[in-house]
Structures are given as C-alpha cells and as structure tokens.
Amino acid sequence: MSELPPCPQCQSPYTYEDGALLICPECGHEWSAEMAEEGAPAYVDANGNTLNDGDTVTLIKDLKIKGSSQVIKVGTKVKNIHLVEGDHDIDCKVDGIGAMKLKSEFVRKV
C-alpha cells in the first residue's frame, strides 16, 4: 500500500483517495492525485492557502506598476487567475489596468 501525501493546505496526514482526487477530511481540501505524484509546484497565497487556476484573489498590499506611476490598491479583487511558472506566478487581468503578472505572496484567496 502506498503512502498518501499530507494535505498541501493544512498538512493533515489523514488524506484519503476518492477516484482521481485526494481529499483532506480535516479542512475539506481536494486536489488531484496526478498533481501530487508528478511533484507539480504548489502555488500558495500569503496565508498558505493553495491557489488553483480560475480562483479569485485580493491584493494584500499596494503594488506599484513597473514603468508607470499607477498603483493597484490593497483590496483590489482579481478574478479568474492563471498560474504559471516563473518569478511572477500569476497571470491575470486587473479591471481598469489590463493584463498583469503578480507574485502569489502578495495575494489572498477569496
């Protein structure tokens, strides 16, 4: 019998398999077993919550836009994020600004 990985959200060792998903009975987090086996990078927000494609996040800090005098204010809600590998791991569109790349350490999952 293989050892199942702990929950990436709360680190509970009591995960179980349900079809293609792994489920944590303590926090209710679900993730794909394939992702856990492949060792895919886990993207987490400033509070340690796991981020997924399509999530909605809010900014926890004012962020100055590089090459511009504009600032994205704290509390700005960003919908339908796309996770990518690299220094800035979130691709998104910010209302009133346009396409942006953000670091997951400056956002909180809604």
Judged against a pLDDT cut of 90, whether residue 55 lies above it is answered with yes
What tokens appear for 91 in the block? 């691709």
Q: What is the pLDDT of residues 7-28, one digit of tens each?
A: 877 888 888 888 878 888 888 8
pLDDT score for 37? 56
More confident residue, 74 or 66: 74
pLDDT score for 1? 40
Q: How far apart are CA 97 and CA 12, in angstroms?
A: 39
pLDDT score for 71? 93
Residue ranges and CATH numbers for the domains of the chain are 1-38 (2.20.25.10), 56-109 (2.30.30.40)
User: For the chain, percent helix, then strand, then coil, each to nearest 5?
Assistant: 10, 30, 60
Q: What is the pLDDT of residues 75-101, one digit of tens each?
A: 999 999 998 887 888 999 999 889 999
